A and B are shown apart, each in its own frame.
Chain A
Amino acid sequence: QVQLQASGPGLVKPSGTLSLTCVVSNGLISTNNWWSWVRQSPEKGLEWIGEIHPSGKTNYNPSLKSRVTISIDRSKNQFSLKLTSVSAADTAVYFCARERTFWGQGILVSVSS
């Protein structure tokens, strides 16, 4: 079955940009599925960030839309998340998933100076 693995810096400075990449294996990212980012914190629980289709179409959570960009690289079978102007409130475990069906392990990202 498809597997997903998120990677990126575990520490980001306040006001900086959080950048994560999710590599998809045992399956093609070009299939007709949506590829998602979800985060989890003790304060907010599970929060859907957004998703991208291989066509390039995206949907974002309005609460984060002004700061989020999700992109896809079909040649590398991966998709990425950028979250700008981060604060301590963005500290969370970030998961990548295929349509909230198959989930990657998650990566803890802390925002701190």
Chain B
Amino acid sequence: DAGVTQSPTHLIKTRGQQVTLRCSPKSGHDTVSWYQQALGQGPQFIFQYYEEEERQRGNFPDRFSGHQFPNYSSELNVNALLLGDSALYLCASSPGNTLYEQYFGPGTRLTVT
């Protein structure tokens, strides 16, 4: 049983560009959350998707958007990249509306130059 998978592993972009990160949840999980982790800090919640809709959102600008597909996989899009967007982007999945723990993927390391 594959866990949470993310692609790509690493990515280098230039300031002002746009980027799309992808996540496939653990089998049986229908809720996907995205987090941004800057170097030396804890993960910061970006947003959560359930039933193809954004259910909760953290304190991130509209440049950060997402999508969830019918197969529960998800994308994170970031427009007009800033140097400060350089971070590890983590995806976590869980069975929706339950007490179960979230399973995290290995993350995508984004570097903005």
- Asked whether A and B interact, the reply is no
Chain B residues packing against A (C-beta within 8 Å): none
Chain A residues packing against B (C-beta within 8 Å): none
